[in-house]
Structure 1
Amino acid sequence: MEIGALFYVLAGFAILNSAFHIFLSKVAYYKEPEAQGSLKKAVSVIVCSKNEQENLKVLIPKLLEQDHPNFEIILINDASHDDTKNVIEDFRVKDQRIKMVDVVNNESFWGNKKYALTLGIKKAVNDHLVFIDADCTPNSSQWLSIMSKHFTTDIKIVLGYSGYKKVNDSLLNKLIRYETVLTAIQYFSYALHGNPYMGVGRNLAYTATRFYEVNGFMDHMRILGGDDDLFVNQAANSENTTVSLNEDSFTSSQPKTNWSSWWKQKKRHINTASHYKKTHKRSLGLFYISQIGFFISVILGLFFGLNWILIVSVILVRYVVFWVVMSKGFSRFRESDIIMLLPVLELILLGIQMALFISNMVHRPKQWN
């Protein structure tokens, strides 16, 4: 049986992609140790809200129900033009733990979420900050205690997980949840390997001290988005960062329900990723190339008559590794219902990511909400 150069290309991409998945298995099989911090530390919960009047009516009671002895809630009204300010005011007069920051746009930082968040951080009286988005809810009353307990003398940044609520019979919803868990598997595994590169603002904690040490968001203030991932990319390292994988520390968000709004959201996310450190961009880019290269090599192999037994053998090896790692990871993040669709969702997402990169080269988004 003659083995040509195309087979070696296919095998090379398969080996490279499988190696990445083995690297990403860190989070799937990780046994999280007991957090060493104190449960009694004072915490400031920060929520940035822009036109979120209905979501705040759901979130604020959930925050007030948190089983934590000492916390305040900083609610930021980021120049909303709905009833967000009045909703915050109504809750504020009922509970002294709630404080409001009312943001008025200025010419220098028009529509910039980082500007609003900075004002909220300055308002906080506590050094330990925990962030959640207005359209999220904690999965339990222990969320705040578990997230904040990870803070120690050395640990300044805690990466949490935020999934999306399920919508039955929706391909978009399955794709959103697939992409969310895949991203979580990546950034949690990198952090556990001592190389943190991002977090999500829907469930993230860090100290005000660390925020000011890196001059807050100033290095990327003009970049749309990145108040979470770009900040972590800049401020996190192997010594000061940990992860929280306890299910009670997860949060859940309302997913986009139409393709257009999700497309706009992903365009913003991809735009910020282009500003990661070079080492992270290379590594994440190589993973993407290994996926694309594998599928293109399979197609070319079939087109040019490469022995089908060789092709099937390589495909089987690659998918065994893929399935073992991803199915375990998706179970860990409570998304077992889409495990059977993983190969299909992988292909769909790859095609969309390619289209997003091309789209962002033509037109970049200009508002955070």
Structure 2
Amino acid sequence: MDVSYISDVWKLTLFVGFCVVIAIQLYYYLFYFRRLAQFKPPVKQSSQEYPVSVIICARDEADNIVKNLPGILVQEYKTTSEVIVVNDNSSDESKYLLDEFKKTFKHLNPIELTQEAKMIPGKKFPLSIGIKSARYEIVLLSDADCVPASEHWIYKMQHGFREGIQIVLGYGAYHKLPGLLNKLIRFETFHSATQYLSFALAGQPYMGVGRNLSYKKELFFNNKGFSSINHIPGGDDDLFINKVATATNTTIVIDKDAHTLSDPQKTWNNWQRQKFRHYTTSKYYKSSHKFLLGLYSVTQMLVYPLGIAAAILFNWWLALAVFGLRLIIQGIVWYKCMHKLNEADLWPYFILLDIWMFFYYLLYAPALLKKPAKNWN
């Protein structure tokens, strides 16, 4: 057989493979991510404020308690609310700080834990204690290193509840600071949120983030809490939601006033360790979710190497045209999503950030094969 013919077949196959990858990517952008880009919260016939229990777990978080807890305690909320801080075996001055805050804010309810839970790594035990101690049906979760983006956080998050809704997914953002690392951290956070919020809108919710997440106590107890995932250090947010969320019981709230803000990691090594901890839990997702997320990640990682190969070996202008189609649709969708999530300053860099994701996947893919760490903070 003519060698040149075989070579031409392989070049054509390479280009077709590139087109398939682009087609799969466009499916995600047009079927899933477009939903977030065009999202408008449903209009409620009546506005009701439910009693809310805010729950925060903290271990040796004295500095964050001083800095962030006041933003939660001074929320403008007319209806009854409480703030539960589970002080999980802290060795710093957290207890004394909480006692001082309690003197001023009567709705603060500190819970002191002085013994470790055997065979239950992570923060699922202290969080379970907080949920069991909550007075109200709606619990709103955050972390000690988070501060609400506004004094209307509680109101905006509970406003997502309506008949049949048991889970409200929020957005946990990071403070905007100078530097490349800050942009990469915020983009990765935005990119992950685009996926889990869009999938929820498509009726396929698969995770939430503990920095900004609300659900009903009834849902927690009816599913026996974290009992099925107690052996896993992480997962108190994403794995629990992966287990209990359905197409009909989950909604999202992305109002800018409903965001929480955290301090991003200051060094690459710290961020890498944080991401490795987070990704070690995704292997426990439902099979359908792992397939959909894996297909998206693999095709996104293949876009640039296949595109470059197709341009060099097959036809550069055809490859560029196919890539350009994705770039235009991606740019429009990300532009709208970034505005929705108050990350619009990242959009001018979206092409560079998209290229970065190729290296990001290469860097963090090994986390899927590692055993979860035993500590949670």
Do structure 1's residue 39 and structure 2's residue 54 form an aligned pair?
A: no
Aligned to 2:254: 245
Aligned to 1:89: 99
Aligned 1:335-350 pairs, distance under 5 A = 335-350=343-358
CA distance 1:344–1:159, change in 2 (3 Å): same
Corresponding residue to 1:367 among 345, 351, 375: 375
Corresponding residue to 1:277 among 286, 295, 303: 286
Given residue 132 of structure 1, which amino acid in structure 2 is its aligned partner? S
Aligned to 1:52: 61
Alpha-carbon offset, residue 122 of structure 1: 1.0
Aligned 1:252-291 pairs, distance under 5 A = 252-291=261-300
Aligned partners of 1:223, 1:347: CA distance in 2, in Å? Answer: 33
Q: Give the 4+ runs in structure 1 shifted more than 4 A.
A: 35-38
Given residue 205 of structure 1, which amino acid in structure 2 is its aligned partner? S
CA distance 1:359–1:73, change in 2 (3 Å): closer
Contact 1:35–1:149 under 8 Å retained in 2: no
CA distance 1:210–1:232, change in 2 (3 Å): same
Aligned to 2:38: 29
Aligned to 2:228: 219
Aligned partners of 1:363, 1:72: CA distance in 2, in Å? Answer: 37
Aligned to 1:308: 316
Aligned to 2:129: 119
**Per-residue CA shift, 1:132-174, capped at 9, x if unaligned?**
1111111111110111122233111101111110111x11110
Bigger shift: residues 355-364 or 233-242: 355-364
Alpha-carbon offset, residue 16 of structure 1: 0.9
Aligned to 1:163: 173
Contact 1:35–1:150 under 8 Å retained in 2: no
Alpha-carbon offset, residue 109 of structure 1: 4.0
Given residue 233 of structure 1, which amino acid in structure 2 is its aligned partner? N
**Per-residue CA shift, 1:273-297, capped at 9, x if unaligned?**
1111110000000001111222221
Contact 1:37–1:152 under 8 Å retained in 2: no
Aligned 1:125-140 pairs, distance under 5 A = 125-140=135-150
TM-score calculated relative to the size of structure 1: 0.94
TM-score calculated relative to the size of structure 2: 0.93
Aligned partners of 2:54, 2:349: CA distance in 1, in Å? Answer: 36
Aligned partners of 2:367, 2:132: CA distance in 1, in Å? Answer: 37
Do structure 1's residue 353 and structure 2's residue 323 form an aligned pair?
A: no
Aligned partners of 2:120, 2:329: CA distance in 1, in Å? Answer: 47
Aligned to 2:213: 204
CA distance 1:71–1:175, change in 2 (3 Å): same
Do structure 1's residue 17 and structure 2's residue 64 form an aligned pair?
A: no
**Per-residue CA shift, 1:77-104, capped at 9, x if unaligned?**
1112222222112112332211111123
Alpha-carbon offset, residue 39 of structure 1: 3.5
Q: Percent identity?
A: 34
Alpha-carbon offset, residue 47 of structure 1: 0.6
Contact 1:175–1:349 under 8 Å retained in 2: no
SS state at 2:136 partner: coil
Structure 2 unpaired stretches of 5+:
1-7
Bigger shift: residues 71-80 or 355-364: 355-364
Given residue 295 of structure 1, which amino acid in structure 2 is its aligned partner? Y
Alpha-carbon offset, residue 120 of structure 1: 0.8
The number of equivalent residue pairs is 366
**Per-residue CA shift, 1:23-51, capped at 9, x if unaligned?**
21100111112346753321100011122
Contact 1:114–1:227 under 8 Å retained in 2: yes
Alpha-carbon offset, residue 332 of structure 1: 1.3
Alpha-carbon offset, residue 338 of structure 1: 1.3
Aligned partners of 1:40, 1:353: CA distance in 2, in Å? Answer: 42
Aligned partners of 1:71, 1:155: CA distance in 2, in Å? Answer: 20
Structure 1 unpaired stretches of 5+:
none
Do structure 1's residue 172 and structure 2's residue 172 form an aligned pair?
A: no
Q: What value does the CA root-mean-square deviation take over the aligned residues?
A: 1.7
SS state at 1:47 partner: strand
